[in-house]
Chain A
Amino acid sequence: MSAGDDHAALVLAQVTALTRGGAKSLATRGRADLRVREEAEDWLKKGLDSYHRRRFGDALACFERGIQLNPNHSELQLRLGIMYHEGEGVPKDHAKAFVWFRRAAEQGDAGAQNNLGYAYHQGEGVPQDFAQAAAWFRKASERGLRDAQHSLGVIYAAGDGVAQDYEQAAMWYRKAADQEHAEAQFNVGTCYFYGQGVPQDGVMAAYYWRKGGEQGHMESQYTLGNLYLHGWGVQQDYEQAAVWYRRAAEQGEPFAQSELGDLYSKGLGVPQDLAQAAIWYREAAQQGHSDAQQKLGLLDVSRRGEPLSRS
């Protein structure tokens, strides 16, 4: 933050200092400051309205008017940071975005703290610094922001900028997961499945993967299919395995496509259907899944009694 920018705040402080008269003038000042802040608030509302209509130039002008009136408004700072980060209404400028995020973050805005953590993590607008990233993600996490909680879990699991700590990773994943963060639901399910940072618990793994799967999280859907196929943490159930493999397969998960092919070829949980099996093996094979490639070949052999022509 440059000293020049901070002057703006001082000027505001000094302008309102001009009215005189002891206790009465302190009340007058309070009201004048309130009016200025209300006006800034109005510019924020107008700016957000334009932003949601994707009129970014107008939105930027509104946010800038607001920040002139109240240089300390953390949401205006955050909004300006986002516009510079995304290049909305202005050329993309990560360094400027970083400055705005930091100001809002230092004032305790959880969203800005998360963005600042991300900027440090990715080295956007600032040299990459995992320790700083962890520190800011932690602040936002403690304010209950699920994205930050998930990121903090990732940082602990990887040991980036902090000592690797699976217990901490599992704890933060779980906090985010309990706030319906799909990726965190998958990750905490994985922690439970392998017993990383938490006691191994297939039931809990199934619980979180199901939550992730129901939100459309592809990896969760695939792993939940595995649980049903093998009866890990749940009652073995081929129909359920087929349901979850299909959901992941339809989203393009090659392992799920291959498993679904297996179920069709063996008639497990679905009526046996070699044509369907071939369709799903082919999908998986096209994504480089070598087992599926092989099984597709075998399937062709068994169906036609001869190897697939190589032409």
Chain B
Amino acid sequence: MQAELTDRELFLASLRAELAAFEGRYLREVGVLYAELDDWNAKIAELTAETDGSEGAKSAAAEARSQAEESYAGAHGEAAKAAEFSPSPELKKLFREVVKQIHPDYASDEADRLVRNRLMAAANLAYRRSGEAALRRILDEYKSSPESVRDEGVGADLVRVLRQIDQIVQRFAQIEAEAAELASSEIALLMAKVQTATAEDRDLLAEMKQDVQHRIGLARNEFEDQSSKLRPR
């Protein structure tokens, strides 16, 4: 049961990390272009509002501008910074070791559980960032904490063991639920498409980039067309 839990935790952590890495790449390559496109569209809408002056045109311009800001924030935010993820066998092994040692469901009491929860979150982050050194520090930190040296043998009563089993079963369900949710997220569906295309020797991200870049060019031309009409000759 312990080995299976370790497997599933590793699977979930890998899935999260892989999706975060793909999302980072997508936002850096394609997301920024959507943000640029939205900026041009907002500029066009603002120019139209200036010449037209109607309430409708003004609110369309405000709407377009807030969309552009939102896209910019999305494309340049924290998610865009996620690095590429390709875990080495050593990293995976280390993560398994961490899970085995500090999984919150093996906690002996509530204080131990709190420590383990914090370390487990740190371990997930370290794994995502391929931080072997950080994972080792987490292991060391737990081994040297007072919670880790609690007397297991004599004090382990049946009630506690049963409660642990119950927690582990619940955790399995949580893992499956989270994995299912992740797998049906927009970014996962997009990643699946890109991977399918890669298998067919197509670079879908490059195609998407090209498409949005082309639309940026059209929007820029449109903006320049409209603004040159405004300028006094």
Contact = CB atoms under 8 A, between A and B. Distances in A.
Interface of A: 3, 6-7, 9-10, 12-14, 17-18, 20-31, 33-34, 37, 72, 107
A27 B190 contact: yes
Interface residues of B, number: 39
A10 B41 contact: yes
A28 B189 CA distance: 9
Given A3-B225, A17-B41, A31-B193, A25 B211 contact: no
B214 A17 contact: no
Contacts of A6: 218, 221-222
A23 B27 contact: yes
Given A9-B215, A20-B67, A27 B187 contact: yes
Contacts of A22: 70-71, 73-74, 77
A72 B215 contact: yes
Contacts of B71: 17, 22, 25-26
20 contacts: A7-B222, A9-B214, A13-B41, A13-B215, A13-B219, A22-B71, A23-B74, A23-B77, A24-B187, A25-B71, A26-B27, A27-B185, A29-B34, A30-B30, A30-B34, A31-B189, A33-B212, A34-B193, A34-B204, A107-B214
B183 to A, nearest CB: 14
8 A-B pairs with least C-beta separation: A22-B74, A27-B186, A23-B74, A26-B31, A23-B79, A27-B187, A9-B218, A13-B215
Contacts of B219: 10, 13
A213 B31 CA distance: 55
B26 to A, nearest CB: 7
Interface of B: 23, 26-27, 30-31, 34-35, 37-38, 41, 44, 64, 67, 70-71, 73-75, 77, 79-80, 185-187, 189-190, 193, 204, 207-208, 211-212, 214-215, 218-219, 221-222, 225
A14 B26 contact: no
B213 to A, nearest CB: 10
A8 B77 CA distance: 31
Contact of B70 (A3, A14, A25, A28): A25
Contacts of B26: 26-27, 30
A25 B73 CA distance: 11
Contacts, number: 93
A48 B30 CA distance: 30
Contact of A23 (B67, B75, B193, B204): B75
A30 B208 contact: yes
B21 to A, nearest CB: 13
Contacts of A21: 70, 74
Given A10-B219, A31-B189, A72 B23 contact: no
B74 A25 contact: yes
A290 B80 CA distance: 81
Nearest to B197: A34
A18 B43 CA distance: 16
Nearest to A27: B186
Given A6-B222, A24-B186, A25-B70, A12 B27 contact: no
A8 to B, nearest CB: 9
Given A28-B186, A33-B211, A10 B218 contact: yes
A23 B80 contact: yes
Given A17-B71, A20-B67, A30-B208, 5 more contacts: A3-B225, A13-B218, A20-B70, A31-B193, A33-B211
Nearest to A8: B218
A225 B106 CA distance: 92
B215 A34 contact: no
